[in-house]
Amino acid sequence: MEHLLLTVLVLAPVTVGAVSALTNRTCIGRFVPWGFAASLAAAAGSALVLLAGHPVTAGPASTPWLNFDGLGATLSLVVGIIGLTVVVYARRNLLGSTEAARFALGAGVVVSGTQLLAVSARLSVLVAAWVLTTAAVLVLLGGEGARRRLSRRRAAAVLLAGDVALVAAAGAVVVSVGDPQLDRLAPTVAALGERSTEILGLVSLGALDLVALCIIAAALARASQLPFSNWLGGTVNAPTSTSALLHAGVVNAGGFVVVRSLDLVGASSVALWVLGACAVATVVLGAASVLGRTDAKGSLAASTSAQMGFMLVACAVAAPAAAMTHLVGHALYKSARFLGVGAVVHAGVTRRRLGIGGHHGSRVPTVSDARLVLRAAVAVAAVGATALVAWPAALTGADATMVGGALAATTAVALWHWVRAPQRPPVVAVAGLAVLSGAVAGYLAAASVVKDAVSGTAAPVTVAGPPAALALAALATVALLGAVAFTHPTYGARVRSAVAGLGHPPLRIARVRPVRSTAPGEFQPAELRSPA
C-alpha cells in the first residue's frame, strides 16, 4: 500500500502532463487536473498512514530510497495543493495557446520532481530530483520572443551553476562515506570533519565546510538570493500560471534542502554565516526593490526573493520550524497573488479610465489614533500570550526568536497602516482587530504543527552559526536606515529610483538604429515628416 501511494504521488503529475503534451498542442487535457488531484490525494493518504504510526517508505527497510516523513509531508501537501490549483487555472488561461503543451509537460515534471525531492531518503535521490526540476523549469521558461530567450538563458546559467555545486557536494560525500540517509547524517559529518582540502595550494578548507558551502550555494541559486538574484525577475515574461508555479513552488526547494540537510550544514559555522549574510542582504535589497517597482509581476518577483531570504535567515540561525512555517505561508500566499494579478491590473486600468481614485490620502495621526493603537497592541499581546500558553511548543529557542520577530513586525506594520487609513466605524475597527488577533493565534498554531512535523530534522546542539537575535537586529537596523533613506526629502526619490531594478537588471535585446531618408516618395513616420 505504501509503495502504491508513493508511486502515485511522484508519477501521476508527470504522466498526465506528458500525455497531454503529446496529444493536445493548444490546450491542456481535461484529465490533467485529475492526475494532479491523484498526487495530492496520495500525499494526504500517506500523511494519514504516517499519523497512524506506520512508516511510508520504498526500498530496503533499513536504507530506503523514499521516505514520507513529517518534513516531507509538509512540502508534499503544499506542492500538491498549489500544483492542482495552478493547473485548473491554466486550463482556461492557456486555452488555444501554443504555450499549453509546454506548460502541461513542464508543470507535470516540476510537480513530480518536487514531490520526489520531498520524499527523498538518500542524498542521491535528492540530487536527481533537484536536477530534474531544473530541467523542467527551463522547459517552462522556453518560448518565442527575444526577452523570453534571454530570460531563459539567464535562468539556465544561474540554476545550472547551483546544480553543479550540489552535484559536487554529493560527489564529495559519496566518495567519502557512500550514499548516506538524509535522516542519519551524523556519521557523514564525523567522516567529513576529519578531512581537509587545499584550494589552489593557498587555502586549506575542511571537507565538511566545503560540502556545506556547496549546498548553500545551490540553495542560494535556487531561492534567487544574492549574488544569484537576477534570474527570477526575468521569469515574469512567462505566462501567469508559470510564474505562479515557479514563485510558489520551485524557489522554496532551496530552503527545504537546507532544512533537510541542517544536521550537516549546521556543523559548519562558515557555511551558516555565509548563508545568513547573503540572506539578510537579499531581504533588505529585495524589499527595497519591491517599493521601487511599478509593475505588478516584477514587484511580486522581488518580494519572492526577499521572502526566501527571510526563510534562509531562519535556517542560518537553526530555526527549522520557523523556516518551514514561512515556506508554507509564502507558497500559498504568493501563488494566490500571481493567479490574481491579472484581475488586479485590470481593476487598476478600469479605475484610471473611469477617473476613480484607487487610494485614499494619508492623514496625520491624532491622539485618538494613539489610544486606538495602544488598545489594539494590548489586545494583540493578550491574544499572543494566550496562544503561547495554549501552544508552548510553538516558540522555543531560535524558533521563538524568529517567529516572535515576524509576528511583532507584522503586527506593527498592520497597526501603522490602520492608523494612517481613514476613519472607519467602530464595528469595522473591532472586526479588523479580531481578524488580526486570530491571525496571530493561527500563525502560532501553524508553527506548533510544523515544529512537530520537523522535530525529527532538528538542528544539532553544537550549531555555531549567527544568533537569531543578531540576525533580527541586523534586519531591523538596516530596515530603519532604509526607511529614513526612502523618505528623505532630498535623496528619497533618487534612492527609490536606484533600487527599482535592484537585482533585476533590464534585458538588453538589441539596438535599433533609426533609418534616415529624405528621398522623395519614400515612407517616413509621421513624427519625422516636415510640416506642410
pLDDT in tens, 332-359: 888 887 787 766 555 555 555 555 554 4
The three cell numbers of residue 81 are 495543493
CA 286 vs. chain centroid, Å, equals 13
For 432-442, what is the mean pLDDT? 66
87 within 8 A of 33, measured Cβ to Cβ = yes
Q: What single string gives the DSSP state of each residue in 236-294?
A: GGS-HHHHHHIIIIITHHHHHHHHHTHHHHTT-HHHHHHHHHHHHHHHHHHHHHHHH--
Residue 304, Cβ neighbours under 10 Å: how many? 28
81 within 8 A of 245, measured Cβ to Cβ = no
> Domain map of the chain by residue range?
1-121, 365-488
For 188-203, what is the mean pLDDT? 69
Considering only residues 337 and 157, tell me which one the structure prediction assigns the higher pLDDT.
157
| Alpha carbons 165 and 158: distance in angstroms, whole number | 11
Q: Is the pTM of this model over 0.95?
A: no
Question: If DSSP states are collapsed to H, E and C, what string results for 177-244?
Answer: HCCCECCCCHHHHHHHHCCEEEECCCEEEEHHHHHHHHHHHHHHHHCCCCCCCCCCHHHHHCCHHHHH
For 166-193, what is the mean pLDDT? 85
Q: What is the mean pLDDT of the chain?
A: 75
Cell 521516505 maps to which residue?
A: 67
| Alpha carbons 387 and 380: distance in angstroms, whole number | 10
The three cell numbers of residue 295 are 509593475
For 187-199, what is the mean pLDDT? 74
Pairing of strands 57-58, 196-199: unpaired
Residue 531, classed as helix, strand or coil, is coil
Burial string for 383-416 (b: 16+ CB within 10 Å, else e) reads bbeebeeebeebbeebbbbbbbbbbeeebeebbe
Residue partners of 19: CB distance under 8 A and separation at least 6: 29, 31
Whether pLDDT at 388 is above 70: no
| Burial degree of 520 (CB within 10 A; 0-12, 13-18, 19+) | exposed
pLDDT in tens, 41-82: 999 898 888 888 888 888 887 788 888 888 888 888 889 999
| Alpha carbons 403 and 314: distance in angstroms, whole number | 9
| Alpha carbons 203 and 214: distance in angstroms, whole number | 16
Return the pLDDT at 390: 47
pLDDT in tens, 15-40: 998 998 888 888 888 888 999 999 99
Whether pLDDT at 285 is above 70: yes
Q: What is the dihedral of CA 126, 131, 134, 139, to 10 degrees?
A: -130
pLDDT in tens, 96-137: 888 888 888 988 999 999 999 989 989 999 999 999 999 988
Percent of the chain with pLDDT over 90: 10
Cell 548553500 maps to which residue?
A: 216
36 within 8 A of 79, measured Cβ to Cβ = no
Question: If DSSP states are collapsed to H, E and C, what string results for 15-32?
Answer: HHHHHHHHHCCCCCCCCH
| Alpha carbons 56 and 119: distance in angstroms, whole number | 10
Considering only residues 321 and 360, tell me which one the structure prediction assigns the higher pLDDT.
321
Residue partners of 522: CB distance under 8 A and separation at least 6: none
Beta bridge partners of 122: 181
